Amino acid sequence: MEVEKRTLVNGGMKLPIGYRFHPTEQELILHYLLPKAFASPLPSSIIPVFDVFFSHPLTFPGDQKEKQRYFFCKKRREVSSKDQHRIKTSSSDGYWKSYGKERQIISCGRTVGIRRTLAFYETNKSSSNCNKTRWSMTEYCLAGFASTKVFGEWAVYSVYERKVSKGRMQRKAKGRDDEEDLSCIHFTIGSDHETGPPPPSPPTSADESGSII
């Protein structure tokens, strides 16, 4: 019991110090998702079963210090609204929306999985709109295994929070200062409407006495 308590954090599995669960996409599909769909033994019980469409990502189990957390979850159908495909959370905290293109996961020349990315939009209590957050997750589904439908549409979800780049934060912090700095640069506009600095002065020469000609 003590060993189990040490390996569980906020309802999720915690690896020993220095260890990270960092599988390739092919490993995730063939060694985890495929056995899960067929109810076969897994290499490890590192991926818990959790409904990622139930609540806000902040409430997801596991150690939030980890850059990525993985969950087994049954797929949900998207609801079309105003030409947008959304998957609402059960707790009405917001919804997940897919963006970008679906990508095939290839192993040994065969398509074994499909990957797509979803972004989380948080419900704005002061209005009826939803704000896009930095929470994203990648959905991994099986492909090419028709018999897996017998066991349900299982998928693996990799949940993470996107970080704001330092350059973007600096540009946002500077704001109008950059515009003011640019406005201090003046150029000479010629009659031919070309913009550029004034032409350099012609070189001077000196005679033998040292006087400038």
Asked whether the predicted pLDDT for residue 50 surpasses 60, the reply is yes
Decide if 177 is inside a domain: no
Q: Tokens 């896009």, residue?
A: 132
Mean pLDDT of all residues in 180-189 = 36
pLDDT: is 3 or 69 the higher one?
A: 69
Residue 73: predicted pLDDT: 95
Q: Is 90 helix (H, G, I), strand (E, B) or coil?
A: coil
The mean pLDDT of the chain is 76
17 belongs to a structural domain: yes
The tally of domains found in the chain comes to: 1
Residue 81 counted as domain residue: yes
User: Using one digit for the tens of pLDDT, what is the confidence trace for 59-75?
Assistant: 998 877 788 899 999 98
- Give yes or no for residue 186 having a pLDDT over 60: no
Contact indicator for 7, 83 with CB cutoff of 8 Å? no
pLDDT of 15 reads: 74
pLDDT tens-digit map of 119-130: 999 987 766 678
N- to C-terminal Cα separation, the chain = 98
pLDDT tens for each residue of 94-113:
899 998 899 999 999 999 99
Residue 207, pLDDT > 90, answer no
Contact 95, 88 (CB under 8 A): yes
Checking if the pLDDT of 206 tops 60, the result is no
Q: How far apart are CA 185 and CA 162, in angstroms?
A: 37
Q: Is 183 a member of any domain?
A: no
- Which among 59, 42, 38 is positioned nearest to 50, based on CA atoms? 59
So what's the pLDDT on residue 182?
35
If one counts every other C-beta atom within 10 angstroms of the C-beta of residue 20, the result is 8
Average pLDDT over residues 38-62: 92
Tell me, yes or no, whether 202 lies in a domain: no
pTM (whole model) above 0.85:
no
Is 196 inside a domain boundary? no
The arithmetic mean of pLDDT across residues 74-90, rounded, is 74
In a domain, 212, yes or no: no
**Which comes out higher in pLDDT, residue 45 or 138?**
138
User: Which CATH number is 148's domain given?
Assistant: 2.170.150.80
Q: Is residue 192 domain-resident? A: no
With beta carbons less than 8 A apart as the criterion, state whether 116 and 138 touch.
yes
* pLDDT for the residue numbered 152: 67
